[in-house]
């Protein structure tokens, strides 16, 4: 695909799709990682003298309707403070946007337009008519074939990848397509069902597959261990066994349990065979955490998605903490992605010790599954014109 950094942007109307879908509370942005990740792209375009128009979605509003709670106003304010300049928010932008060279505006939530999610052609053409160059930079939304991520790129005079998207694809490609071995993946989170395709795809590629959270419980049950009243999926035991036949999975030898799921719950460490009928497994135990940490030390490439315990509650966060610190200390090329993972990276303060932190949640998982991201396919199709 074409890259924005190879193009002359001076005086051009440049329409950039970012993923500025960030958490907002009481009119304030509460985590600005995605906004900060998009800054180099925006600053590059401004420096090059482009007329910069930014697009993004925020949340999942009823399509075609304005709703204040999904307005990008807090994002415009926050972005403005990071850039050190005002970023006007344009409410009605489909029929044309006034912006000078070297200036930037933010177009209001793309999902307020009907047809956005359907990848509507007429809407895509209107977006395309706004610009000379369309830049797709929203890795986090690259798995969506929608008007602002996909359709617009088919009709814009030029369609290219922004630096954030290109860097994500380079980093993820490095970890998955030609990884230095051993390659170790950690897949945590609550359910096998939501990560089945990821687990299956990784089981063909990795040397060790570390599982955590509710996912580990299903693997424990599959291996014949008692899981008490822990979250697990009985109907996926067969699928878990099939995965375990393909790849080495160091299932926990000890776990941290509680009688209830609560912030105040008392944490009790047990050997896996001692889990009682009224126990809930809420973290991996210390012995397991050491085993996992040792794997991180030997690894040359690490892919991390999902915490291994209920780390929101400190007494069930030790497994995730020890693992996160082991990843931080490892010399491996490490990638972390997915919403909860980034919250854990933040909580344990290791963000600058991970080689690459993906801005994608669903997009990251689909990439790991080996799926073609529609926005990337569109850019490839437009590579030569
Ligand atoms: C995300 O947060 O994963 C992306 O911004 C995509 O959002 P969506 O799932 O609402 O399309």
| Rounded Cα distance, 138 and 166, in Å | 10
The CB-side HSE value for 329 (13 A sphere, CA atoms) comes to 12
Within a 10 A sphere around the Cβ of 74, how many other Cβ atoms? 19
| Rounded Cα distance, 135 and 162, in Å | 6
Q: In this structure, are 25 and 134 located in the same domain?
A: yes
Q: Is 51 a catalytic residue?
A: no
Residue 193 pLDDT > 90, yes or no? Answer: no
Q: List, for residues 82-116, the tens digit of each pLDDT value.
A: 999 999 999 999 999 999 999 999 999 999 999 99
Q: 60 CB less than 6 Å from ligand 1?
A: yes
Q: Which atom of ligand 1 is nearest to the CA of 361?
A: 3
Q: What is the CATH number of the domain that holds 337?
A: 3.40.50.1260
Residue 357 pLDDT > 90, yes or no? Answer: yes
Q: Which residues contact 360 (CB under 8 A, 6 or more apart)?
A: 139, 140, 142, 143, 168, 337, 338, 367
Residue 142 pLDDT > 80, yes or no? Answer: yes
Domain boundary among 165, 195, 215: 165
Domain boundary among 138, 165, 192: 165
Q: Is 191 a catalytic residue?
A: yes
Residue 324 pLDDT > 80, yes or no? Answer: yes
Residue 146 alpha carbon to ligand 1 centre in Å: 12
Give me the number of domains the chain comprises.
2
Q: Is 34 a catalytic residue?
A: yes
Q: Which of 12, 17, 34, 117 is catalytic?
A: 34
β-bridge mates for residue 52, sequence order: 14, 104
Domain boundary among 103, 131, 165: 165
Residue 9 pLDDT > 80, yes or no? Answer: yes
Report if residue 374 sits inside a domain: no
Report if residue 72 sits inside a domain: yes
Whose C-alpha lies nearest to ligand 1, atom 3?
361
Cite the annotated binding site by residue number: 19-21, 34, 57-60, 111, 144, 195, 312, 338-341
User: 317-355 burial by CB neighbour count: b if 16+ within 10 A, else e?
Assistant: bbbbbbbbbbbbebebbbbbbbbbbbebbebbebeeebb
CA 319, distance to chain mean position in Å, is: 22
Taking alpha carbons only, the member of 29, 35, 36 closest to residue 56 is 35
Q: In this structure, are 103 and 242 located in the same domain?
A: no
Spell out where the chain has E strands.
13-17, 24-25, 28-29, 51-55, 89-90, 104-107, 133-136, 158-161, 183-187, 208-211, 254-258, 268-271, 280-284, 301-305, 333-336, 356-357
Q: Which residues contact 194 (CB under 8 A, 6 or more apart)?
A: none
Q: In this structure, are 189 and 161 located in the same domain?
A: no
Residue holding tokens 């799709």? 17
Residue 20 alpha carbon to ligand 1 centre in Å: 10
Residue holding tokens 């170790």? 184
Q: Between the CA of residue 318 and those of 112, 131, 185, 193, 348, what are the distances in Å?
A: 42, 50, 19, 25, 10
Report if residue 173 sits inside a domain: no
Structure tokens at 245: 């036949």
Residue 94 alpha carbon to ligand 1 centre in Å: 22
Q: What is the pLDDT of residue 342?
A: 87
Q: In this structure, are 155 and 304 located in the same domain?
A: no
Q: What is the pLDDT of residue 338?
A: 81
Q: Which atom of ligand 1 is nearest to the CA of 60?
A: 10
Q: What is the pLDDT of residue 377?
A: 98
Q: In this structure, are 20 and 77 located in the same domain?
A: yes
Residue 349: band (very low, low, confident or very high) from pLDDT cuts 50, 70, 90: very high
Q: 361 CB less than 6 Å from ligand 1?
A: yes
Q: Between the CA of residue 358 and those of 130, 136, 172, 198, 378, what are the distances in Å?
A: 29, 16, 8, 16, 21
- Mutation probe of ligand 1 site: the residue of 33, 116, 144 with most atoms within 8 A of C-beta: 144
Dihedral (C-alpha) 160, 162, 166, 167: value to the nearest 10 degrees?
Answer: 170
pTM, to two decimals:
0.89
- Mutation probe of ligand 1 site: the residue of 361, 363, 375 with most atoms within 8 A of C-beta: 361
Cite the annotated binding site for (2R)-3-phosphoglycerate by residue number: 34, 111, 144
| Rounded Cα distance, 188 and 195, in Å | 9
Report if residue 55 sits inside a domain: yes
Q: What is the pLDDT of residue 329?
A: 96
Q: In this structure, are 160 and 234 located in the same domain?
A: no
Q: In this structure, are 231 and 342 located in the same domain?
A: yes
Find the mean pLDDT for residues 34-38: 95
Q: 143 CB less than 6 Å from ligand 1?
A: no
Is residue 20 classed as helix, strand or coil in its secondary structure?
coil
Q: In this structure, are 258 and 199 located in the same domain?
A: yes
Q: Between the CA of residue 370 and those of 135, 363, 365, what are the distances in Å?
A: 24, 11, 9
Q: What is the pLDDT of residue 192?
A: 82
Which range marks the domain in which residue 50 is found? Answer: 4-165
Q: 359 CB less than 6 Å from ligand 1?
A: no
- Mutation probe of ligand 1 site: the residue of 362, 363, 368, 375 with most atoms within 8 A of C-beta: 362
Report if residue 26 sits inside a domain: yes
Q: List, for residues 194-225, the tens digit of each pLDDT value.
A: 898 999 999 999 999 999 999 999 999 999 99
CA 239, distance to chain mean position in Å, is: 25
Residue 339 pLDDT > 80, yes or no? Answer: no
Q: In this structure, are 161 and 133 located in the same domain?
A: yes
Report if residue 134 sits inside a domain: yes
Q: What is the pLDDT of residue 206?
A: 96
Mean pLDDT of the chain: 96
Residue 191: band (very low, low, confident or very high) from pLDDT cuts 50, 70, 90: confident
Within a 10 A sphere around the Cβ of 187, how many other Cβ atoms? 27
Q: Is 339 a catalytic residue?
A: yes
Structure tokens at 250: 């160091």
Q: In this structure, are 140 and 196 located in the same domain?
A: no
Report if residue 373 sits inside a domain: no
| Rounded Cα distance, 284 and 317, in Å | 9
Residue 328 pLDDT > 80, yes or no? Answer: yes
Q: Which atom of ligand 1 is nearest to the CA of 362?
A: 3
């Amino acid at each position: 695909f074409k890259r924005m950094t190879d193009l002359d942007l001076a005086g051009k109307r440049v329409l950039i799709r970012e993923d500025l879908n960030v958490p907002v509370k009481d009119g304030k942005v509460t985590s600005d990682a995605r906004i900060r990740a998009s800054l180099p792209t925006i600053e590059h375009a401004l420096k090059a003298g482009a007329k910069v128009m930014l697009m993004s979605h925020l949340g999942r509003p009823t399509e075609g309707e304005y709703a204040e709670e999904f307005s990008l106003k807090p994002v415009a304010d926050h972005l403005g403070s990071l850039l050190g300049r005002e970023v006007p928010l344009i409410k009605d932008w489909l029929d044309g946007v006034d912006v000078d060279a070297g200036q930037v505006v933010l177009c209001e939530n793309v999902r307020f337009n009907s047809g956005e999610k359907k990848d509507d052609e007429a809407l895509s053409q209107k977006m395309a008519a706004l610009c000379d160059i369309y830049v797709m930079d929203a890795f986090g939304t690259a798995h969506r074939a929608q008007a602002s991520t996909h359709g617009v790129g088919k009709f814009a005079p030029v369609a290219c990848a922004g630096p954030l998207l290109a860097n994500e694809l380079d980093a993820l490609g490095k970890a998955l397509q030609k990884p230095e071995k051993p390659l170790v993946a950690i897949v945590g989170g609550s359910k096998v069902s939501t990560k089945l395709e990821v687990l299956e795809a990784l089981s063909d590629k990795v040397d060790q597959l570390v599982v955590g959270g509710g996912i580990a419980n299903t693997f424990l049950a599959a291996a014949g261990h008692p899981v008490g009243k822990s979250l697990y999926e009985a109907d996926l035991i067969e699928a878990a066994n099939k995965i375990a036949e393909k790849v080495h999975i160091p299932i926990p030898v000890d776990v941290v349990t509680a009688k209830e799921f609560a912030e105040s719950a008392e944490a009790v460490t047990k050997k896996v065979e001692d889990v009682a009928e009224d126990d809930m497994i809420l973290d991996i135990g210390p012995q397991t955490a050491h085993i996992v940490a040792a794997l991180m030390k030997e690894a040359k490439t690490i892919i991390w998605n999902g915490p291994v315990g209920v780390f929101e509650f400190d007494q069930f966060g030790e497994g995730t903490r020890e693992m996160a610190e082991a990843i931080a200390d490892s010399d491996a090329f490490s990638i972390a992605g997915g919403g909860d993972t980034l919250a854990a990276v933040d909580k344990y303060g290791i963000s600058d010790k991970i080689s690459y932190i993906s801005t994608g949640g669903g997009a990251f998982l689909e990439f790991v599954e080996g799926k073609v991201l529609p926005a990337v396919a569109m850019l490839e199709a437009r590579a030569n014109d």
